[in-house]
Amino acid sequence: MSRDDAPFEIHVHGDVKLRTDVGFDALQDALKPLWKYAGARSLADGAASLYEDEPGIRFDPQQHLLQMCWTLQGEDDFRHQLDDLCMNLNELSAAGSQIEVTFYDADYDEDDEDEGREARDDFVLLFVGPTPEAIMQAQRDLLVEDVVALMERHFDGAELGGVVSEIDKLFQGRYSALTSSLELGKPPRGRAAARRATAVAAARVICTDRFMTACGA
């Protein structure tokens, strides 16, 4: 399917640590929402980026790592692929990871800027992981990194231990609330179903002003 006139250039960026037993076939199936949307017939066919200087989608079997620096042309409906993508990667991941998705307005040009029109650019930050703990840990680490980087403009890093401690308390409270809500629900059947259910529950978490979303629902 040609997307030459698509309104967005969409960039997907992130590294996901995978379980040691994950092979190419399983990863190809997990990433189907991406390469199928791009009009490819396989991951190998769709792994190349729109831009030659970007590595695209790569699988490093020695490091058990999925690396994505991949741009495609698309529309706003690409967002619909992200839920399935995150749920699939939840099942294969070994640790919490972040995935950045940026929508660049392909039609925006200098004339629009001169006339004061705003671009339709958008940014979404997703999290995947094997468990709610892993997802929240990735969220917590990024939030601490952002907050410390901001506050170090005014304070010495050694003074920020209390700030980090308060962030940890917020996430501990959120995790306690999550586990309590799961215990009140009907227990899923089987180990895989239980793991999937907790990952879905964690997916409902939204935090900070950087549009950070744990995905998988």
Question: Which residue range(s) make up the domain with 162?
Answer: 1-217
pTM: 0.78
pLDDT in tens, 161-197: 999 999 988 888 887 877 776 665 555 555 455 444 4
CA angle 157, 163, 164 (to 5 degrees): 80
Alpha carbon distance 126, 103 (integer Å): 14
Backbone dihedral angles phi then psi of residue 121, each to the nearest 5 degrees: -60, 150
Are 26 and 43 in contact by the 8 Å Cβ rule? The answer is no
Alpha carbon distance 69, 54 (integer Å): 6
Instruction: Count the domains in the chain.
Output: 1
Q: Does an H or E element contain 71, and which? A: strand 65-74
pLDDT in tens, 123-143: 999 999 999 889 999 999 999
Alpha-carbon separation of residue 41 from 25, 29, 84, 142 (angstroms) = 14, 11, 18, 35
